[in-house]
């Protein structure tokens, strides 16, 4: 048997329901924030990621899926969403002044050749946003608020936001000098990757997963001591906006993030659950004021973040949070024999087109096992269609909850179901268990 590639997984059943629910919830949050959907190719020219993500990052140096296409072009399966969105922003000339800010959101698979483990896959899904055209710290705060509010909508309480500022070019270059001077005395204690980072990009040393807990890491110079006045002012404003919207956060001096393109604000949202495991970072992002320019566009500031779908589902499960996923169907249709099957099929489809969730028997089950099947599917009603029903245009319908039985004229079936589903689902007291999808006038609508 051929098996799925290492580090990938199949989506089906209840997991599939969760994925669709989370996608839909994120989409509806994005509508509220007025972000536009964007979808870019899953593979792009390899160069894009070298320039976009950065040569010295783990992602580009160790994790990309690179291949030559049949025309000998160097291609890469995207390891993250930002570079492609920036490429599209430039190529489609989205940068006209009147359209700014351009606020986009995306959802899709990303590919990294990593060691698979819980919460870490080779193909994984990210939802994310990128907002272009303003360097106002208000947009940093907006992007952070999206991450926070998404988790809040889901009822996730155990999350912690960590933020830091990497400053502007001037701050970064002063800080780089300080790091070079500091780590020079400790080079022998660093891992081999970090020794290379020392030469290429010393900031990256602070993001090392191997050397992370060494004392020399904690005692390293802090970026906060090297920020320019402008960068300090930017960071203070971001913090003020967050404070004023009741979004709590922790300033983490050692947060540098694994990508090269960040300037000023960087942030991570982490699951704050004891024993949750090493892969507890749920989402991450920051500001990238030079990325558009680096990729070949006009100088345009930007800020964004991405959240991992798999880790989100893990943390929802660990926190025992049930999503408000509708289970069950409205009606299960039982054709009594072959003669009425086609008629039953037509009734079924018409009801589906009128907005009901309807399933029918495809297995030629007998009546008893069909009723069992209706229970298994959690069907509210069961319709029985025999020859008499077909000849006289009515349907025998049984309410699976109240056990009442009715004979209903086919012409009134839609009205009947509408009325019954509304009455029974939405006798809306406050802790009703209706799905709030009928406008019954309760406080949920």
Q: Which residue has the tokens 């245009």?
A: 393
Is 373 a binding residue for ligand ATP by CB under 6 A? The answer is no
Tokens of 368: 């008893």
Helices (H), 154-228: 169-184, 192-200, 215-218
Please answer whether residues 243 and 137 qualify as being in contact, where contact means their C-beta atoms are separated by less than 8 angstroms: no
Shortest distance in whole angstroms from residue 278 CB to ligand ATP: 8
Q: Mask 208-247, x = binds ligand ATP (CB under 6 A)?
A: ----------------------------------------
Q: Which residue has the tokens 């509304």?
A: 422
Q: Compute the distance between CA of residue 83 and CA of residue 257 in angstroms, rounded to an integer.
A: 16
Among 107, 124, 183, 356, binds ligand ATP (CB under 6 A): 124
124 DSSP β-pair partners: 110
Q: E strand or H helix at 425, and its extent?
A: helix 413-425
Q: Mask 292-311, x = binds ligand ATP (CB under 6 A)?
A: --------------xxx-xx
Q: Mask 29-68, x = binds ligand ATP (CB under 6 A)?
A: ----------------------------------------
Q: Characterize the bridge pairing of strands 329-335 and 358-360.
A: parallel
Q: Mask 95-114, x = binds ligand ATP (CB under 6 A)?
A: -----------------x-x
Please answer whether residues 276 and 180 qualify as being in contact, where contact means their C-beta atoms are separated by less than 8 angstroms: no
Residue nearest to ligand ATP (CB): 308
Among 17, 50, 120, 350, binds ligand ATP (CB under 6 A): 120
Please say which residue, 278 or 367, places its beta carbon nearer to ligand ATP: 278
Edge-to-edge strand ranges of the sheet holding 379-385: 358-360, 329-335, 379-385, 394-399, 405-409
Q: What are the distances in angstroms from CA 8 to CA 22, 122, 172, 383, 393?
A: 20, 6, 38, 42, 51
Please say which residue, 277 or 386, places its beta carbon nearer to ligand ATP: 277
120 DSSP β-pair partners: 117
Is 142 a binding residue for ligand ATP by CB under 6 A? The answer is no
Q: Coil, helix or strand for 265? A: strand
Among 256, 284, 295, 395, binds ligand ATP (CB under 6 A): 284
Shortest distance in whole angstroms from residue 149 CB to ligand ATP: 17
Shortest distance in whole angstroms from residue 123 CB to ligand ATP: 8
Residue of 179, 252, 250, 251 whose CA lies nearest to 216: 179
DSSP single-letter state for residue 122: S
Please say which residue, 126 or 171, places its beta carbon nearer to ligand ATP: 126
Q: Which residue has the tokens 């540098």?
A: 256
Shortest distance in whole angstroms from residue 326 CB to ligand ATP: 27
Please say which residue, 305 or 356, places its beta carbon nearer to ligand ATP: 305
Residue of 216, 212, 215 whose CA lies nearest to 183: 216
Q: Compute the distance between CA of residue 42 and CA of residue 60 in angstroms, rounded to an integer.
A: 16
Is 279 a binding residue for ligand ATP by CB under 6 A? The answer is yes
Q: Compute the distance between CA of residue 362 and CA of residue 332 in angstroms, rounded to an integer.
A: 11
Shortest distance in whole angstroms from residue 281 CB to ligand ATP: 4
Q: What are the distances in angstroms from CA 444 to CA 253, 356, 435?
A: 43, 21, 9
Among 35, 106, 107, 121, binds ligand ATP (CB under 6 A): 121
Among 64, 82, 88, 126, binds ligand ATP (CB under 6 A): 126
Please say which residue, 142 or 207, places its beta carbon nearer to ligand ATP: 207
Among 281, 313, 329, 440, binds ligand ATP (CB under 6 A): 281
Among 26, 51, 78, 80, binds ligand ATP (CB under 6 A): 80
Please say which residue, 278 or 353, places its beta carbon nearer to ligand ATP: 278
Is 379 a binding residue for ligand ATP by CB under 6 A? The answer is no
Instruction: Find the Cα–Cα–Cα–Cα dihedral 16, 22, 23, 24, rounded to 10°.
Output: 110
Shortest distance in whole angstroms from residue 118 CB to ligand ATP: 10
Contact footprint for ligand ATP (CB under 6 A): 80, 112, 114, 119-121, 124, 126, 258, 279, 281-284, 306-308, 310-311
């Amino acid at each position: 048997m051929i098996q799925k590639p290492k580090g990938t997984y199949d989506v089906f059943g209840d997991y599939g329901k969760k994925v669709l629910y989370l996608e839909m919830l994120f989409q509806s949050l994005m509508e509220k924030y007025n972000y536009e959907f964007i979808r870019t190719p899953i593979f792009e020219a390899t160069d894009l990621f070298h320039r976009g993500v950065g040569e010295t990052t783990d992602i580009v140096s160790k994790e990309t899926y690179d291949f030559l296409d049949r025309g000998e072009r160097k291609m890469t399966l995207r390891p993250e969403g930002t570079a492609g969105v920036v490429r599209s922003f430039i190529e489609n000339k989205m940068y006209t002044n009147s359209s700014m800010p351009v606020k986009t959101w995306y959802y899709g698979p990303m590919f990294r050749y990593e060691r698979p483990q819980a919460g870490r896959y080779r193909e994984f899904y990210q939802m994310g946003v990128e907002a272009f055209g303003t360097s106002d710290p208000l947009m940093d705060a907006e992007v952070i608020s999206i991450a926070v509010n998404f988790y809040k909508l889901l009822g996730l309480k155990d999350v912690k936001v960590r933020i830091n500022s990497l400053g502007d070019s001037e701050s970064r270059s002063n800080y780089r000098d300080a790091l070079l001077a500091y780590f020079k005395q400790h080079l022998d204690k660093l891992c081999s990757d970090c020794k290379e980072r020392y030469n290429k990009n010393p900031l990256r040393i602070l993001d090392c997963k191997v050397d992370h807990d060494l004392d020399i890491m904690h005692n390293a110079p802090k970026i906060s001591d090297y920020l320019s006045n402008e960068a300090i002012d930017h960071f203070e404003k971001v913090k003020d906006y967050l404070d004023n919207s009741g979004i709590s956060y922790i300033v983490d001096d050692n947060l540098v993030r694994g990508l090269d393109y960040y300037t000023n604000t960087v942030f991570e949202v982490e699951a704050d659950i004891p024993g949750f495991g090493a892969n507890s970072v749920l989402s991450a992002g920051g500001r990238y004021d030079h990325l558009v320019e680096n990729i070949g566009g006009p100088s345009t500031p930007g800020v964004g973040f991405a959240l991992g779908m798999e880790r989100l589902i893990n943390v929802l499960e660990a926190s025992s949070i049930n999503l408000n996923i509708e289970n069950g169907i409205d009606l299960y249709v039982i054709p009594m024999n072959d003669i009425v099957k086609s008629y039953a099929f037509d009734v079924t489809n018409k009801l589906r087109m009128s907005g009901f969730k309807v399933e029918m028997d495809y297995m030629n089950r007998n009546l008893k096992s069909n009723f069992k099947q209706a229970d298994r599917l959690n069907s509210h009603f069961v319709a029985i269609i025999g020859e008499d029903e077909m000849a006289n245009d009515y349907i025998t319908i049984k309410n699976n909850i109240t056990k009442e039985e009715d004979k209903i004229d086919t012409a009134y079936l839609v009205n009947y179901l509408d009325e019954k589903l509304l009455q029974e689902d939405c006798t809306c007291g406050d802790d009703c268990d209706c799905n709030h999808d009928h406008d019954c006038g309760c406080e949920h609508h």
